Amino acid sequence: MADGTGLDDHLAGLAAEAQRVTVPLAAEQIRARGDRRRRRKRAARISGGVLLAAAVAVGGISLVRPGPESATTAAKPTESRSASLFVPPTPAPGEEYASEIGYVYEAKVLEDTVEVTVEQLRAEQGKAVPTGVVHQVTLSPQTPVEVEQVAGGEPRDMRLGDVVDRLRGGPRWVFALDYDGEGRIQSLREAFWLTVE
């Protein structure tokens, strides 16, 4: 019996020691988890600040970057006879596109693009009047084109590649070219509503 009681005392002592050792360990783990959480929050705040600063810097750079004529894309106006006079129209606030009206002619297929010459016109009382600005544009053959007279009097939606043959000659067909905010041509629409002088 004495042995059994001694064992009980010994086990009770071990349990007390284990409890004394494990309780501080659990508290230490809780404190360590709390510290890790605080470090993660602090790092998130710092990285959020860094991301915000980067976004502001990139936004500032995009505000002061050169205009759309400096970028090179398949749908951007290229160098031309009067490049200094041509300025791609920009959409008004709240508008998706801005339009340039002009003769579209001398269409040439160049590998996977189509190059056309545009002689800019302005509309005055329903008449198309030349401005003297002529420039060349390189577009995708998949550029949407709304036609009527070019298609024989029947309104249709086509692709630029489908009407290249009709636009090969000299100035004959008048189109409105729709430019987006980046200065890229998104579509052409036949300006059949204008009388050409």
The reported pLDDT for the residue numbered 37 is: 72
Q: Are 114 and 138 in contact (CB under 8 A)?
A: yes
pLDDT, tens digit, 9 for 90 and up, residues 29-75:
677 777 777 777 676 667 666 566 556 666 655 555 554 444 444 45
Question: Tell me: the pLDDT tens digits for 72-97?
Answer: 444 554 544 444 578 888 888 888 89
Whether 132 contacts 151, CB under 8 Å: no
pLDDT of residue 70: 44
* pTM (predicted TM-score): 0.56
127 three-state secondary structure = strand
* Bridge pairing between strands 144-147 and 174-179: unpaired
pLDDT at 24 > cutoff 60? no
Mean pLDDT of 129-158: 91
Cβ(189)–Cβ(178) below 8 Å:
yes
Give, in order, the Cα–Cα distances in Å from 187 to each of 7, 38, 119, 144.
93, 54, 17, 5
In this predicted model, which residue has the larger pLDDT, 138 or 154? 138
Whole-angstrom distance, CA of residue 19 vs CA of residue 21: 5
Residue 131: how many CA atoms within 13 Å on its side-chain side? Answer: 18
What pLDDT was estimated at residue 61?
58
Q: Write down the domain spans for the chain.
A: 1-65, 70-196
pLDDT reading at 126 higher than 60: yes
The domain at 70-196 falls in which architecture? Answer: Beta Barrel (2.40)
Tell me how far apart the alpha carbons of residues 189 and 197 are, in angstroms, rounded to a whole number: 19
Mean pLDDT of the chain: 78
